[in-house]
Homo-oligomer: A and B are copies of this chain.
Amino acid sequence: MRAYTTQMDAARKGIATPQMEAVAQKEHMPLEQLMQLVAKGQVVICANKNHTCLDPQGVGSMLRTKVNVNLGVSRDCKDYDVEMEKVMSAVRLGAEAIMDLSSHGDTQPFRQKLTRECPAMIGTVPVYDSVIHYQRDLAELTAQDFLEVIRMHAQDGVDFVTLHCGITRKTIEQIKKHKREMNIVSRGGSLVFAWMSMTGQENPFYEYFDDILEICQEYDVTISLGDACRPGCLADATDVCQIEELVRLGELTKRAWERNVQVMVEGPGHVPLNQVAANMEVQKSICMGAPFYVLGPLVTDIAPGYDHITGAIGGAVAAMSGAAFLCYVTPAEHLALPNLEDVKQGIIASKIAAHAADIAKGIPGAREIDDRMARARRKLDWEEQFACALDPDTARAIRDSRSPEDDHSDTCSMCGKFCAVRSMNKALAGEYIDIL
C-alpha cells in the first residue's frame, strides 16, 4: 500500500513521488516548486497506478507544451500490430500522449497492450467505448453501464479519461434556443446529448460525478473535462453555450480537487485568431489554472486538407497564452480517417506550434536547439543542420533531391551563388566575393 492515492494527494502530503522527480528533472524545475503546482492542480502528472511502463510527463502552462495524438483500432484498421506501430512511431516523433479512440471490435486487448508497452500517457473517451463494449445501441445503455466502462478503463491503466460532465438537461434547451451554426461537434458530447434526448435522463457523467471521482481516486486517473459545446465553426466561438459549459467545468474542477483528483480542462475548437488569447485567460480564471487541453484552435473554417496548419496557428498562440496541452490535428480533419502520412504531418505541425510557444514563454532550455541550428547555418554545416531539424529525413530529402550547382556545393539550390551566408562569410573574412 502506498501512502497516498493520487499524485495530487501525495503533493499535498509533501510526498515526492518517483513521477514528480522524473518530471522535475525533465522540466529543469526544482522538485519543491513542481510539488506546489501539483498540489494546487496547476500541473497534472497523468500516471495511472497500473500503467507501469509510463515515462511520466507533467502537463501545465509553465512546463514544456505537450502534444496528444489520437489513434485506435477502427473498422478500417483492425490489426493491433499495425496500429501499435503507428503508436510507437508517434511517440518517436515526439507525441507525449496517445488517446485511444478505438471504435471497433473488442477494444480491451489493444488498450491493455498500450498500457503494457507504450511509455506515453494514455487517454480514452469511455462514452465512445460504451457503445462498442456492450454492443447495445446508445438508448439502451444505463448510467451504471457508463460508470462500469470508466472503471474498466481505470483498471486497464488509462492515465486520463475525457468525460463530458459539463452539459446538463438545461443544455438541450440552450442549444435549441441559441441556434448555433454547428450545434455540438464534440463526438463524445453529441453522444451524451443524444443519450439525454432519447432517455429523458440527466447526464450521467454529471449526475454521478462523485462516483466517478471515487474511481479516479482509486487508480489515479486524471479527468479531462470534455467540452461538449466547443465551437465547431468561427461563428459559434466564445458564445453562451461554450462559456456556460466552461463555468460548469470550473465548478467540477473544484469538486475533483476536493477529492485530490487531478483535472485537465478541454477547450476550443474553432476560434478566430483575435479571440484565442482571451479564451485562454477566461479558462485560467474560471478553472483556477487547471491545465488547458486545446483541440486546435482552428483559426479558419475554410481549409479542409490543411487543418494541421490552421491548428498550428491557433495552437501556437493558445500555448503562448496559457494552454498546456495540444491535441494534434491532421490534414484529414473534417474529411477522413487520417492515414500514416496524415498522422505524421499532424504531429510535426503540433510540435512546431508547441515549440514556438515554449520559446515565446521562455521555457528553460527551449531555444537551445534553435541557437544550435543558427550556428550550423552560419557555418553551412549541413549535417549539423539536419541533426537540429525536427524532421531530419524530410529536410535531407528535399536538399538532396535538388542538388546545388557543382561549384557551390556548400550552399543549396535555393540561392546557389547568391547565398547570403556564403557572401557574408567571405566578406567578413575580407575575401573576394565571386558571384558570377
Contact = CB atoms under 8 A, between A and B. Distances in A.
A17 to B, nearest CB: 33
- The secondary structure that dominates the A interface is helix
A273 interface: yes
Interface string A402-436: 10010000001111101111011111101011111
A270 to B, nearest CB: 8
Contacts of A421: 182-183, 185, 190, 232
A40 interface: no
A159 B331 CA distance: 36
Interface string A295-325: 0000111111110111011001100100000
A424 B190 contact: yes
Given A300-B356, A433-B139, A274 B183 contact: no
Interface centre among A337, A370, A412 (most CB of B within 10 A): A370
A436 B131 contact: yes
B128 A418 contact: yes
A421 B191 CA distance: 11
B303 A352 contact: yes
A339 interface: yes
A365 to B, nearest CB: 13
Nearest to A298: B356
B305 A395 contact: yes
Contact of A432 (B139, B312, B370, B371): B139
Interface in A268-310: 272-274, 299-306, 308-310
A138 interface: yes
A10 to B, nearest CB: 34
Contacts of A187: 415, 418-420
Interface stretch (A28-36, A142-150, A240-248, A372-380): A372-380
A12 interface: no
A103 interface: yes
Contact of A333 (B301, B391, B414, B426): B414
B191 A418 contact: yes
A135 to B, nearest CB: 7
B306 A348 contact: yes
A389 interface: yes
Interface string A158-182: 0000000000000000011000011
Contacts of A190: 420-421, 423-424, 427
Contacts of A5: none
Given A235-B370, A371-B235, A413-B76, A432 B402 contact: no
A195 to B, nearest CB: 8
Given A374-B234, A423-B194, A428 B306 contact: no
B374 A232 contact: yes
B374 A235 contact: yes
Contacts of A308: 309
B235 A378 contact: no
A137 B374 contact: no
Nearest to A141: B435
Given A312-B309, A370-B301, A378-B182, A193 B390 contact: no
A136 interface: yes
A154 interface: no
Listed from nearest, the 5 A-B pairs whose CB atoms lie closest are A233-B374, A190-B420, A274-B360, A305-B394, A273-B360
Given A138-B433, A191-B423, A299-B356, 4 more contacts: A313-B316, A332-B414, A335-B398, A336-B398
15 contacts: A176-B428, A183-B378, A193-B427, A198-B427, A273-B317, A301-B388, A305-B395, A305-B397, A306-B348, A306-B391, A312-B312, A335-B398, A335-B412, A337-B413, A338-B414
